[in-house]
Structure formats: structure tokens, C-alpha cells
Structure 1
Amino acid sequence: MRRPFLPTLLLACSLAVPALAAEPAKKPAKAPAKTICVNVKDGSKAVQGTNLVIEPGEKVKDAVAVDGDVIVKKGAVVDNDVAAIRGRVILEPGAKVKGDVVSIGGEVRVPAGAHVDGDVTALGGKLVVDKKEDVSGEQNSLSLVFNGDDLVKEFVGKALDEDAGKCHILDDEDDDDDKDV
């Protein structure tokens, strides 16, 4: 029985939750400094404001990037799920994901020779799967374009811009030691 994708998606979206309740902020005069956070306590990796690259031979539990891409190189294995919020998920031929792959506000690329045991989903971006048999689960893509703007990308972008510069480090074991940095 496959592990549900919901916990990974909730981890990724938790970075944006405080922004959903706030009033829209004015755009800053200059771009905020990039914030990078990594949590590898349980074998998972999560970053914000940069790309996450899973190198050949590396094995991780979950891979999550906010405002960056997740790139799974040839020979790398992700035991559970891969998620990119306002970024792309790019698998190289020979990469393996044993769970689901999702991108919100970006595209998902699964070239021939890469393999996903679960579902692949692109919300607000393209889904590119070279060979359908390389994805064991469902393939889903949704993009809502109005006047040339993708509404999914706009929604995610506004939610994350409100919380820019703050990174939430989460520990699934105990909510008492979660903190903002």
C-alpha cells in the first residue's frame, strides 16, 4: 500500500499558509535576499529560494522545493514524494521516484528512462512525460490561463510573496520545537 501524498504536500504548502490569512502586501522596492533552508532529520530534503538537486547514487525520503526546482539526477532515488511549489520538477533518465511527483506553479518533466511509481501532477504548468509507461500512476495537468496570466501561478505567487524572507523549519515528530528563521 502506497503512502498518501498529502503529508508531503502539506509540508510544502505550510511555508505559504501564513500568507493566505494576511492582506496582500505591497511589492518591496528591491528583491528580498534568497532564503535557503534544509531539513534532513528524517532523510528528507527541503529548500526555499534555490534549487534542490538529488545527486547520482543519493537516496532521500522526500524532496521539496519552494521557489526553486527539484532536479533528480540519473541514478538518484526518492523513496516517497517530490514536490516543487513555484518551481519545476525535472527527472533525468535513470532517476526513480517511488511516490508521487507534483509541481504547483511550474512544470513536471519525466523523460524516457526515468520512472515514477505514483502519480504526476502539474498545477499551473506543463506536464511532459515522454513515455506513458514510465509513470505507474495517473498523469494530471491543470492550468487556468486568463488574459495571458496563469491563475494558479498568480495565487501561489501572491501567497508566497507575503511570507518572503521567512523559512519555517518543521519537525514531524513534535510541534513544540517548530520555529521560524
Structure 2
Amino acid sequence: MRRSFLPTLLVACSLAVPALAAEPAKPPKAPVKRICVNVKDGSKAVQGTNLVVEPGDTLRDAVAVDGDVIVKKGAVVDNDVAAIRGRVILEAGARVKGDVVSLGGEVRVHSGARVDGSATALGGKLKLDKQEDVGGEKVSFSMEFNGEDLVKQLIGKALDEDQKCHILDDDDDDTDA
């Protein structure tokens, strides 16, 4: 059984609360659009755009940074789906055999979709039409202070420190001896 990373994240969030409350508000930065797609072993990852898993597609993993992951009816993800500063949306008839996670956004599982593992929304909401459509744990954690979601802010600050794209293909590291 996999260990949950939720206790560690909760401690990190609670430590960040005083620092977030003390900082003056900064004007919002213009969004930087970067798209990095990597197809490795049947997985897909994007940054700065949405990842749509189309009907009939079968992926190993699906990941979006600064974008949503939308799994359409008839699409299957064999492992996990993750969205960082984005949403995960599973339409009726979609299936994820692993876990579904959104950091800084919501997870939406429509009636008739199936998540075999856990569904987690940190810094957003977990919206399930039917509780039984998720086989594992159902976790939603948000913490608001003065109308601002502190978990979403923490995730955003961590990602804003390094705006470079880091979606890598392991095959790029192979060298011929």
C-alpha cells in the first residue's frame, strides 16, 4: 500500500501560513506560455496548455502543469493523472486505473467515470457526482485566509520560483559507450 503524502503537505502548508500572511501583495505577472510535450512509454505531459485524452486513447500517465487534464468518455489512463495549477476533469465513461491529483485546482469526476485509486484536490475542491466512482481515498484540502486559498498560493509560489520547463524524457540521458 502506498504511503500518503498528505501529512507532509499539511505540515508544509501550516509552516508557510505566517510567511504568506506577512508578504505584501504583488501585482500579477503576465502569464508565460510554455508547452512541453513528452511522450514516453505511452505517457503525456504538457505545460501551459490543456491535455485532452481523447476517446479510444490509452495513456500510461497524464500530467499538466499550468493547464487542465480532461479525460473524455472512452479514454483510459493506466496509472495516474495529475494537474498542477489546473483541474482534472473525468467525463462520464472515462477511466483512471491509478490516482487522480490536482494541486491548486479542482478534481471533477462526473457520474459514470471511474477512478480505481484515490482522488485528491489540494488547494481546490473535489467534486464527485457519485462517491462510489472513486475506489480509494477521497481528499480535498483548502485553507482560506482573507478570501485567499493559502494552499493554492503556496503551490503557486513554489512553482513561480523556477519558470523553466522541466518535463524530461529519460531517453535523453542515454549515452552510447
Tell me if TM exceeds 0.5: yes
Please state how far the C-alpha of 1:158 moved relative to its aligned partner.
1.3
Give the distance between the partners of 2:3 and 2:78, measured in 1 at CA: 13
Unaligned runs of 5+ in 2: 6-22
Matched AA of 1:86: R
| Structure possessing the higher relative contact order (Cα contacts under 8 Å, 6 or more residues apart) | 1
Structure 1 residue ranges without an equivalent (≥5):
7-23
The answer to whether 1:100 aligns with 2:99 is yes
1:173 Cα deviation after fit: 6.1
Match of 2:49 in 1: 50
In the alignment, residue 94 of structure 1 is paired with which amino acid? Answer: G
Q: Is the 8 A contact 1:64 1:84 kept in 2?
A: yes
Q: Does residue 38 of structure 2 align to residue 39 of structure 1?
A: yes
Note the C-alpha offset of 1:121.
Answer: 0.3
Q: How many residues align?
A: 157
- Structure 1 position 43, deviation (Å): 0.8
Matches within 5 A, 1:1-181: 31-164=30-163, 166-172=164-170
Q: How far apart in 1 are the matches of 2:44 and 2:3?
A: 18
The normalised TM-score by structure 1 is 0.78
CA drift of 1:171 comes to 3.2
Letter paired with 1:39: N
Off by >3 Å, runs of 4+ in structure 1: 2-6, 27-30, 171-177
**SS across alignment from 2:38:** coil
For the 8 Å contact 1:106–1:126, the answer to whether it is kept is yes
